[in-house]
């Protein structure tokens, strides 16, 4: 089942902070975060593998609350280069395999 992302879109001024949320009705085994710029391939940001785990990438960090079945992506002191669409992906495991299901995305626009 597809994870739900919020908000759908965010407009920021350079230097402002933002939070993007990802929640699932099913138990989460892992959460991936990707960023996609217009016309380009999604690019991996980070993966969180267990509840409570937090990770960081430059000024972008994420947390994973296993009990609440949700993850949040934190962008601090945003830069123009942060503009793009952010997708969370949740891991779905089954016999013999493991696939990633993506949310609909959060569009982030950072202006000068």
Partner 1 sequence: GAGVSQSPRYKVAKRGQDVALRCDPISGHVSLFWYQQALGQGPEFLTYFQNEAQLDKSGLPSDRFFAERPEGSVSTLKIQRTQQEDSAVYLCASRDRGPNEKLFFGSGTQLSVL
Q: 86 burial class (0-12, 13-18, 19+ CB within 10 angstroms)?
A: buried
Query: Which of 40, 51, 55, 112 touches partner 1 (CB under 8 A)?
Result: 40
Residue 66 to residue 23: CA distance in whole angstroms: 10
Helix ranges restricted to H, 19-90: none
Q: Is 1 in the site for partner 1 (CB under 8 A)?
A: no
Q: Is 102 in the site for partner 1 (CB under 8 A)?
A: yes
Beta carbon of residue 102, minimum distance to partner 1 (angstroms, whole number): 4
Binding residues for partner 1 (CB under 8 A): 2, 30, 32, 34, 40-44, 47, 49, 87, 89, 91, 93-94, 96-105
């Amino acid at each position: 089942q597809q994870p739900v992302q919020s908000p759908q879109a965010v407009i920021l001024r350079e230097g402002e902070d933002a939070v993007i949320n990802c929640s699932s009705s099913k138990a989460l085994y892992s959460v991936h975060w990707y960023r996609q710029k217009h016309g380009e391939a999604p690019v991996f940001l980070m993966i969180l593998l267990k509840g409570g785990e937090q990770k960081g990438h430059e000024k972008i960090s994420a947390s994973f609350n296993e009990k609440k079945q949700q993850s949040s992506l934190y962008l601090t002191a945003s830069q123009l280069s942060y503009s793009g669409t952010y997708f969370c992906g949740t891991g779905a495991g089954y016999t013999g395999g493991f696939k990633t299901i993506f949310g609909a995305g959060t569009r982030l626009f950072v202006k000068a």
